[in-house]
Amino acid sequence: MELENSFETKSSYQKQLSHIYSFHKLMDENDIMLVYCGDFSQELNKTLLSFTERKFKTENVEDNTRRKIFNIMVEVLQNISKNKVDAGENIPDFEAIFMLGTNNNDYILISSNLIRNEKIAPLQDRIEQVNSLDKEGLKNLYKEVRLNASFSDKAGAGIGIIDIARKSENKLEYSFVEMNNEYSVFSFLIRITKQ
């Protein structure tokens, strides 16, 4: 959006401002309430979390659900931070994004960020695995991975995903889109059903 130019003629800034309305409609389409784009530092994650806490407290969302949303959000934001890549050669120009929404049935958390291609397989396997399990199965998997994680760091990989699946109680939705031979975009959508 070229603001400098937009001052030149009235019609051009009218056009630019109609973007605000179309963005409103775009968010409305899927009941999105918050979109954040940029870097996810620890400080920023904290404010995003506190925003969500305040938002749901004012809406009188019950404690149990609020805790679930909070815990899942912590995992999601950590995952974005963990995969942070600094701009450089062969790195696609891409900003991570986080969205929060609520419709009649669910609270929805969406993240989308770059991920190194070699990390895709273990992550995808883990998501497919948790999606195939029921509540009891997830509990057992969690215990098992926790136990192994105390012996090696690697075995604990993806424990966040199990945690998310347990709290969401819905199938996790995801996609990977390859950007180049090193990086892909990982998009992740988590629902928490309203009670």
Partner 1 sequence: MNTNFRNDLDYVNRVRGQMNKNQLMLCYRGEMSQEIVIALLNLTENKLNQTNDDSTIKTRVFSVMVECLQNITQQSKESIHAKSNLFMVGYAEHGYTVYSGNVVKKENVEELRSRILEINTMTEEELKEFYKSLIKNESLSGKTGFGLGLIHIARKTGNALEFNFEQIDTDHYFFSLSTLVDH
Where b means 16+ CB within 10 Å and e means fewer, 83-110 reads beeeeeeeeeeeebbbbbbbeeebbbbb
Any contact of residue 179 with partner 1 (CB under 8 A)? no
What does the alpha-carbon distance between residue 169 and residue 113 come to, in Å, rounded to a whole number? 23
**What is the enclosing helix (H) or strand (E) of 112?**
strand 106-116
Classify the C-alpha dihedral 42-44-50-55 as positive or negative: negative
Check binding of 117 to partner 1 (CB under 8 A). Answer: no
Q: Which of 9, 132, 140, 175 binds partner 1 (CB under 8 A)?
A: 175
Interface residues for partner 1 in 43-102 (CB under 8 A)?
Answer: 43-44, 47-48, 50-51, 54-55, 57-58, 95, 97, 99, 101
* CA–CA distance, 41 with 30 (Å, rounded to integer): 27
110 lines the binding site for partner 1 (CB under 8 A): yes
Query: What letter represents residue 63's amino acid?
Result: D
Q: Out of 8, 9, 23, 194, which residue is the one contacting partner 1 (CB under 8 A)?
A: 23
Shortest gap between Cβ of 146 and partner 1 (angstroms)? 29
CB of 99 to partner 1, least distance (A): 7
Smallest gap from residue 22 Cβ to partner 1 (A): 8
- Shortest Å, Cβ 23 to partner 1: 6
Please identify, using beta-carbon distances, which residue of 13 and 142 lies nearer to partner 1. Answer: 13
Pairing of strands 183-193, 106-116: antiparallel
Q: Outline where the chain has alpha helix (H).
A: 3-6, 10-29, 42-58, 63-82, 120-132, 135-149, 159-168
**In the complex, least distance from residue 37 CB atom to partner 1, rounded to whole angstroms:** 5
Binder among 29, 89, 118, 134 for partner 1 (CB under 8 A): 29
The span from the CA of 60 to the CA of 5, in Å, is 45
Could you give the CA distance from residue 63 to residue 101 in angstroms, rounded to a whole number? 18
The residues of the shown chain that bind partner 1, judged by CB under 8 A, are 1-4, 6-7, 13-14, 16-24, 26-39, 41, 43-44, 47-48, 50-51, 54-55, 57-58, 95, 97, 99, 101, 103, 106, 108, 110, 112, 173-175, 177, 187, 189
